[in-house]
Amino acid sequence: MEQFEIREKTLGQILDETIAKYPDNDAVIYVDRDYRLTYKQFGAVVDDLARGLMALGVQHGEKVAVWSTNVPYWVALQFATAKIGAVLLTINTNYRKSELQYLLTQSECENLFIMDGFRDHDYVQTIFDIIPELKTQPRGKLQCESLPHLKRVMFLGVEKHRGMYSVPEIMAMKAMCTEQEYLERQQALSPHDVVNMQYTSGTTGFPKGVMLSHLNIGLNGYWIGRNQNFTSKDRLCLPVPLFHCFGCVLGVLAAVNHGAALVILESFSPVHVMASIDQEKCTALYGVPTMFLAVLEHKIFDKFDYSSLRTGIMAGSVCPAPLMRRVIEKMNMREITICYGLTEGSPVMTQTLCDESFERRTQTVGRHMPGIEVMVMDPETGEECPRGVQGEVVCRGYNVMKGYYNMPEATEKAVDPQGWLHSGDLGTMDEEGYVVITGRIKDMIIRGGENIYPREIEEFLYGMPAVQDVQVVGVPSRKYGEEVGAFIIPKEGCEVTPEDIRDFCRGQIAWHKVPRHIAFVTEYPMTASGKIQKFKLREMAGELFPEAMK
């Protein structure tokens, strides 16, 4: 592996270096609308947008929130804000009115970009509901009673809306900001400045704004790409949300660091994924397991050519070995990798490598990334666990966040005095440093004093031929405190009963691990970034199995 070096650069410097090396290479492509920019063209869009934002008055350190799917101007905004020292604040596309108000208030956000809407949600109307002043006040001079920090609302597209500037209008304002002013702003930046704020999904408590620097995500992106052997000849199909670190760091920054092309989908569609791979001869594909499954099982899967594929990343939740094998064999992704981490870690702390064995790439999440220490810690003592012994996975290094915005107590809980970032995940590490994630501390089921780890039962049930997917959670029990509950998606065409599941388990795993409560479902509650929300499954379990509390 290449020797580690800190590479202290801003995101703007990273982009400019790539433009200088590969000006005529494809940078951003959207197959569904014939949108294509070379790195030189993309750089010009970024610079025009950045100077326009400066002309509007966006200052170094101001937050610029973006509430949008992966529309073409999204990635340009990511670098335009970075070049002028603003902080890109990414908003979950599934957020509704109250969640948006919370985020804009907690972050003290000064600027907001929106799109027209997503699925059945009209973003523009939601903004007018929250900020009625937009309809009556001059653009760019907003004074909002409920959001006193907010100065500007802008539209991430060409359409015009009351009280908002469109992207073409902002770019036209570049004439009001000189090249010298723009250059001086860039020269004043530090790689250690905060450049990105991502709000944790809020599966426990209120979402927290994770502050990440240029160094945090720029360097992490470099190594994520390096571990896939990315070069300027690679073409990455990116169907995951840009608001999540999977999209804007593992995707965008891994590609830009190495001059690779980004073939972006506005939102996930199996057909658009297949068409993009075939038409653009993509060499890499990212997705969560459910995305890969949706592609593999689509009725027109065989009509497309996947021979160009080589590598990519499967992440976001448990990556079952049978699915990995199908992806490798049927989609030609022989060098697919798995990443593990959390937003607070920029996000990746471990990654499997392209040339490692199938077993390593399916049964572990790899070893520590260069420049990052990873340890399995005893949650009780804070000491390192012996190899093979389960504890909490923690990491330390350049990737650890700057903290949670305006939440010092939460920051102290997440990052200990020795600098270790606590993941909240349970895992083991073998003698060679490979990490296996066994569950979450909060997901652990305690049945009558016995600790039960859901991941162990899930892995076992994946071996049942009739089971396509399984999620195990604790079900409240008056007698034992908690019992094991399993939510199972059966394979198409398979008829299976709760007793079939229990029969498969009996004698194969400890009796207290055999699911007492079983529900068959067609899908799981998910975050917009594709993570299964186990807390919602626990809520469902309480409703589905009321007899457990008798």
Residue 201's pLDDT band (boundaries 50, 70, 90)?
A: low
The stretches of 281-383 forming alpha helices (DSSP H) are 289-296, 321-330, 358-363
| Token output for 86 | 């603003």
Question: How does pLDDT run across 358-404, given as a tens digit for each residue?
Answer: 999 989 999 999 999 999 999 889 999 999 999 999 999 999 999 99
Per the domain annotation, does 522 fall within a domain?
Answer: yes
pLDDT of residue 64: 98
Domain boundary among 199, 231, 255: 199
Query: Residue 186: inside a domain, yes or no?
Result: yes
Digit-coded pLDDT (tens) for 306-334: 999 999 999 876 688 889 999 999 999 99
Asked whether residue 419 carries a pLDDT value surpassing 60, the answer given is yes
- Tell me, yes or no, whether 500 lies in a domain: yes
Residue 498 lies in a domain: yes
pLDDT at 468: 94
Residue-averaged pLDDT of the chain: 94
Residue-level pLDDT at 525: 92
Contact at 8 Å (CB) between 191 and 213?
yes
Mean pLDDT score, 47-69:
98
Distance CA 248, CA 214 (A): 12
Q: How far apart are CA 291 and CA 314, in angstroms?
A: 9
102-129: average pLDDT: 96
Residue of 204 and 118 predicted with greater confidence: 118
Into how many domains does the chain fold? 2
pLDDT band of 2, cuts 50, 70, 90: low
| Whether this model's pTM surpasses 0.95 | no
Find the mean pLDDT for residues 67-87.
Answer: 98
Least confident of 85-94, 108-117, 204-213, 346-355: 204-213
**Which residues, listed in sequence order, are joined to residue 122 by a DSSP beta bridge?**
117
Question: Tens digit of pLDDT for each residue in 59-75?
Answer: 999 999 999 999 999 99
CB 191 within 8 A of CB 214: yes
Of 147, 175, 199, the last residue of a domain is: 199
What is the per-residue pLDDT for 205? 57
Does residue 81 form part of some domain?
A: yes
3-state secondary structure of 104: helix
Domain boundary among 199, 223, 258: 199
Q: Which domain holds residue 455?
A: 445-549
Q: Does 86 map to a domain?
A: yes
Residues in the chain: 550
Query: pLDDT band at residue 529, thresholds of 50, 70 and 90?
Result: confident
Q: Are 547 and 534 in contact (CB under 8 A)?
A: no
Mean pLDDT for the stretch of residues 114-135: 95
Confidence of residue 204 (pLDDT cuts 50, 70, 90): very low
In order of 113, 141, 195, 310, the CA distances from 123 in angstroms are: 11, 21, 25, 38
Confidence of residue 95 (pLDDT cuts 50, 70, 90): confident
* pLDDT of 202 over the 60 cut: no
Task: Sheet with 348-351: list strands edge to edge.
Answer: 35-38, 26-30, 261-264, 235-238, 284-287, 311-314, 335-341, 348-351, 367-368
CATH number of the domain encompassing residue 121: 3.40.50.12780
CB 512: neighbour CB atoms within 10 A?
A: 14
Comparison of pLDDT for 367 and 526, the residue scoring more = 367
Coil vs helix vs strand at 43: helix
Burial (CB count within 10 angstroms: exposed 0-12, middle 13-18, buried 19+), residue 223? buried
Which residue shows structure tokens 């209008």?
A: 169
Q: Is the pLDDT of residue 548 over 80?
A: no
Answer yes or no: is 410 within a domain: no
Domain assignment present for residue 252? The answer is no
User: For the residues of 130-175, what is the DSSP string, one character each?
Assistant: H-GGGGTSPTT----SS-TT--EEEESSS---TT-EEHHHHHHGGG
Is the pLDDT reported for residue 203 higher than 60? Answer: no
- Residue holding tokens 């007899």? 547
The model's confidence at residue 213, banded by pLDDT at 50, 70 and 90, is: very high
Question: Long-range CB contacts (< 8 A, 24+ apart) of 522-528?
Answer: 522/489, 523/489, 524/469, 524/471, 524/487, 524/489, 526/290, 527/92, 527/94, 527/201, 527/203, 528/92, 528/93, 528/94, 528/241, 528/243, 528/244
Tell me, what CATH number does 483's domain have?
Answer: 3.30.300.30
Q: Comparing 229-238, 355-364, 384-393, 539-548, which segment has the lowest mean pLDDT?
A: 539-548
pLDDT tens sequence across 428-480 = 999 999 999 987 787 878 887 677 878 889 989 999 999 999 999 999 887 78
Q: For 288-307, what is the mean pLDDT? A: 94
Distance CA 113, CA 378 (A): 44
